[in-house]
């Protein structure tokens, strides 16, 4: 289980953060891109330029995506040459939806990567449990800052079950994430991004927020799902932290050329590594 920092350690890190010494930061984004389609009212070809324009303006250092198809990831890194992306899809290949992680190669070095499934058998590719209708998974990478290679962090990206009846499955998935992440992190700061399909009054959110820090803190807001209307009505996309603190957390409501890049607004935060 991820535990909060001890008070003495937290006070020391707070002093470091105030002085700005030895406390590097990076811009993190969580972004449900809405899977690619060539038909319907919001096909990917009509959104691709808007997605690229939004990312070019915001220019995050690392992005945890959800619903990413391979051609979407390839389109984005082809247009934004400083980025690369990695990850298998939820069936272990590249024909389905990915929790793809994009990162700036001019800012970060990828040191390790891996994945696991949100099920009773997390190391079994494509496995599912708890009554979900689709396999759910987490993708992760360990990164070093190029400006300070000794400064490293773990980013974990996920997408929890989406149906109303999946509350129990989302809570079980949250528990599994908290169980598995410490062994992968090996004491590094952790950034957890995702579309959790869980509002702040849910059991899954309460479990995660009890163990990690919500990048929004206690502030209200953060509504992110808008179904291409531009009027968000649910807070389900989050950045959670351990061993780091967030500032400037915001919802990105860009509409380049009058087109919304997705049915979710991305969420960004400036994340300062504290160990």
Residue with the bigger pLDDT between 125 and 14: it is: 125
Q: Span 47-56, mean pLDDT?
A: 98
How far apart, in whole angstroms, are the C-alpha atoms of residue 156 and residue 190?
8
Q: What band does 249 get if pLDDT is binned at 50, 70 and 90?
A: very high
Per-residue pLDDT, averaged over 82-96, amounts to 98
| CATH T-level fold of 24-273 | Deoxyribonuclease I; Chain A (3.60.10)
What residue ranges in the chain does DSSP mark as E strands?
A: 25-32, 62-66, 83-86, 101-104, 108-117, 137-145, 148-159, 190-195, 213-214, 237-242, 244-251, 267-273
Give the pLDDT score at 21.
Answer: 55
Closest C-alpha among 63, 6, 31 to residue 242:
6
Q: What is the mean pLDDT of residues 65-93?
A: 98
Confidence at residue 220, expressed as pLDDT on a 0 to 100 scale: 78
Return d(Cα 158, Cα 117) in angstroms, integer. Answer: 10
pLDDT > 90 in the chain, percent:
88
Name the phi and psi angles at 50, rounded to 5: -65, -40
Q: Which range scores top for mean pLDDT: 15-24, 37-46, 259-268?
A: 259-268
- Tell me which of 15-29, 107-121, 199-213 is least confident: 15-29
- pLDDT recorded at residue 37: 86
Distance CA 175, CA 170 (A): 9
Per-domain residue ranges of the chain:
24-273
Instruction: Tell me: pLDDT of 201 over 80.
Output: yes
Summarize pLDDT for 153-184 with one digit per residue, the tens: 999 999 999 999 999 999 999 999 999 999 99
Q: CA torsion 160→163→167→169, rounded to 10°? A: -50
Contacts of 156 (CB under 8 A, 6+ apart): 64, 138, 139, 140, 177, 181, 184, 190, 191, 192, 193
Is the pLDDT assigned to residue 39 strictly greater than 60?
yes
β-strand pairing of 62-66 with 25-32: parallel
Q: What whole-number distance in Å separates Cα of residue 144 and Cα of residue 150? A: 7
For 13-27, the three-class secondary structure string (H helix, E strand, C coil) is: HHHHHHHCCCCCEEE
Contact 181, 192 (CB under 8 A): yes
Give the mean model confidence (pLDDT) for residues 189-199: 98
* Res 243 pLDDT > 70: yes
Task: Compute the distance between CA of residue 260 and CA of residue 254 in angstroms, rounded to an integer.
Answer: 7
Lowest-pLDDT range of 71-75, 76-80, 135-139, 220-224: 220-224
| Backbone phi, psi, residue 190, to 5° | -120, 135
pLDDT of residue 162: 97
What pLDDT score does 22 carry?
Answer: 64
**Is residue 17 scored above 60 in pLDDT?**
no
**β-strands 213-214, 237-242: how paired?**
antiparallel
Tens of pLDDT, residue by residue over 97-150, are 999 999 999 999 999 999 999 999 999 999 999 999 999 999 999 999 999 999
Location of structure tokens 């319907």: 40
pLDDT surpassing 80 at residue 205: yes
Average pLDDT value for the chain: 93
Say if residue 8's pLDDT is above 80: no
Average pLDDT over residues 65-69: 98
CA–CA dist 72, 26 (Å, integer): 24
């Amino acid at each position: 289980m991820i535990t909060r920092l001890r008070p003495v350690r937290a006070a020391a890190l707070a002093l470091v953060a105030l002085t700005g010494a030895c406390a590097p930061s990076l811009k993190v984004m969580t972004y449900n891109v809405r899977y690619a389609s060539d038909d319907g009212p919001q096909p990917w070809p009509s959104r691709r330029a808007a997605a690229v324009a939004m990312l070019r303006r915001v220019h995050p250092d690392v992005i945890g995506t959800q619903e990413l198809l391979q051609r979407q990831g390839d389109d984005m890194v082809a247009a934004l040459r400083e980025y690369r992306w990695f990850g298998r899809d939820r069936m272990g290949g590249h024909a389905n939806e990915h929790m793809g992680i994009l990162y700036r190669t001019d800012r970060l070095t990828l040191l390790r990567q891996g994945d696991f499934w949100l099920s009773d058998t997390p190391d079994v590719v494509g496995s599912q449990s708890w009554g979900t209708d689709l396999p759910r998974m987490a993708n992760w990478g360990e990164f070093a800052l190029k400006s300070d290679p000794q400064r490293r962090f773990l980013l974990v990206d996920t997408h929890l079950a989406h149906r109303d009846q999946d509350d129990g499955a989302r809570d079980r998935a949250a528990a599994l994430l908290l169980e598995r992440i410490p062994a992968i992190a090996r004491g590094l700061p952790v950034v957890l991004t995702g579309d959790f399909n869980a509002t702040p009054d849910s059991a899954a959110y309460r479990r995660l927020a009890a163990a990690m820090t919500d990048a929004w803190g206690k502030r209200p807001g953060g509504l992110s799902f808008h179904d291409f209307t531009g009027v968000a009505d649910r807070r389900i996309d989050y950045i959670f932290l351990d061993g780091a603190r967030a500032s400037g957390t915001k919802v990105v409501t860009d509409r380049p050329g009058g087109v919304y890049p997705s049915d979710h607004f991305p969420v960004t935060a400036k994340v300062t590594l504290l160990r």
